[in-house]
Structure 1
């Protein structure tokens, strides 16, 4: 695999435009697979990030995400999924994306060089002591990302910095540095490819571990899912059936008594009243396993 800067020249790049389509696709696939292999050396660091995020959320604080360009999009994708998958209120997981909503429709490079924009976004996010922030920058040198990280640390925020270049500034200033050394891209400098793939998968892993730490995943089920559409309402009923070992009708009755909340419905289906189910979950810090095993 090619190493070094994300702007370096990949050995497979030369003559790429002359190659048959199938050969190009095969090269791109191999580069994506190679990018994923860079996550394994970072597993210990990723666990530390998940622990910091869970600690912040458990303590009533916030877990923020920040980035610009392709790295910002990877951060945004993970951030937006937290509410639907784990039932986390969006105001507890603020997103700082260079250029804001307008940049999602037409991405421009200038916003990632604006430190004032980063400071303004951090102010809106209201992160402070006890909170955590995940900042992404493929090169590890993006001014927007560096300003976010530096200013957040000054406020007492625990900062996790994800970068794809060893020794980069973001890794040096982060409390929890995560190196995903994907190296040169087949399309030189296009970090939406190998770097972005590694970032996205690493964030998937971190957020799932956070969900587990908070008790929002039980036996692989999303037991804190926010059931706000037909698919998720059906999923909630299936989860209650599976975990409580009851019929579909019993699961739906339990859910109707808990306002659609899956965790307490599982306990109601096991014989708890809605009030005692909520009390038990508060006692167990939201972890169903502790109650069910007891």
Structure 2
């Protein structure tokens, strides 16, 4: 039996617990998700190292999963644009049952291997694309179908599963085992198995964006200021990165559509928005390199 399906021996009388003990049991069990991710650090590093050159060469991040795992992939994909200005067309998510399954479970959709392959083929995968394939069991047919279709074109595959020696982990280019064990509510992989998957997806995509120069120091300098909260965040980031006062930061941002990287160059190098854009283009979006680049 898969570990994630094995009944837990720790809380066999969970339904009899008083609420304080019930909450403690559920919270304490989640801590094992962090331990499982830490144990997988070497595999996560290997995935990031292999992903970065393909994505830098124009590849896409494509997520595939079913149920909770698939929904976590959708969540990670849609957050890359506002957080890192990552083009929406370069972050795609496949969810068994279609996007309607984000809001209502589509039972049985995960069992269709051919549909997983067909859905991926509709995206016309290429060699530089990276597939993040997520399935707690490691055996979900829909996800395995997507993996098989990806492998036929040489796309890079990362399998993320919570059970060892399963087809997803052994078939992917890099397998990331999140050994979270039995769930406190038996078989409910939306609990710590899902938590571990969320941590890994956050880590993979964030590490990738750092490698692609979307972060300066630890500042999120490539965000999209699409609402009032994010406009104010852009101002604060520019102030922090440059030492300018808020008025100067806001004035610079207003001249460059609230792009923090450009505002930084404008303020620190006394450049116009056009000059800053040219400097940033010359360094392929690397603001640190642009700041140290000598004027020609």
Give the TM interval when normalised to the shorter protein: over 0.9
1:51 aligns with 2:71: no
Q: Equivalents in 2 of 1:202, 1:243: separation in Å?
A: 28
Q: Equivalents in 1 of 2:259, 2:55: separation in Å?
A: 19
What is aligned with 2:221? Answer: 223
In 2, are the aligned partners of 1:63 and 1:131 still within 8 Å (CA)? yes
What is aligned with 2:90? Answer: 92
1:195 aligns with 2:193: yes
What is aligned with 2:244? Answer: 246
Q: Report the CA distance between 1:4 and its aligned residue.
A: 5.6
Q: How does 1:30-179 map to 2 (within 5 A)?
A: 30-179=28-177
RMSD of aligned alpha carbons: 1.6
What is aligned with 1:210? Answer: 208
TM-score of the pair, normalised by structure 2: 0.94
What is aligned with 2:283? Answer: 284
Q: Report the CA distance between 1:15 and its aligned residue.
A: 1.4
Q: Equivalents in 1 of 2:196, 2:49: separation in Å?
A: 20
Unaligned runs of 5+ in 2: none
**Stretch moving more, 160-169 or 71-80:** 71-80
What is aligned with 1:9? Answer: 7
1:272 aligns with 2:264: no
What is aligned with 1:186? Answer: 184
Q: Equivalents in 2 of 1:68, 1:243: separation in Å?
A: 41
What is aligned with 1:233? Answer: 231
In 1, are the aligned partners of 2:121 and 2:149 still within 8 Å (CA)? no
Superimposed CA distance per residue, residues 221-244 of structure 1 (whole angstroms, 9 cap, x where no aligned partner): 111101111111111111111112
Q: Equivalents in 1 of 2:228, 2:50: separation in Å?
A: 34
**Stretch moving more, 126-135 or 269-278:** 269-278
SS class of match (2:109): helix
Superimposed CA distance per residue, residues 86-112 of structure 1 (whole angstroms, 9 cap, x where no aligned partner): 110111011111111221221122100
In 2, are the aligned partners of 1:95 and 1:125 still within 8 Å (CA)? no
Superimposed CA distance per residue, residues 3-27 of structure 1 (whole angstroms, 9 cap, x where no aligned partner): 9621011112311111211111111
SS class of match (2:25): helix
In 2, are the aligned partners of 1:86 and 1:224 still within 8 Å (CA)? yes
**Stretch moving more, 264-273 or 43-52:** 43-52
TM-score of the pair, normalised by structure 1: 0.95
Q: Equivalents in 1 of 2:230, 2:2: separation in Å?
A: 44
SS class of match (2:5): coil
Q: Equivalents in 2 of 1:266, 1:108: separation in Å?
A: 47
In 2, are the aligned partners of 1:12 and 1:27 still within 8 Å (CA)? no
Superimposed CA distance per residue, residues 79-133 of structure 1 (whole angstroms, 9 cap, x where no aligned partner): 1111111110111011111111221221122100112321232123232111111
**Stretch moving more, 121-130 or 21-30:** 121-130
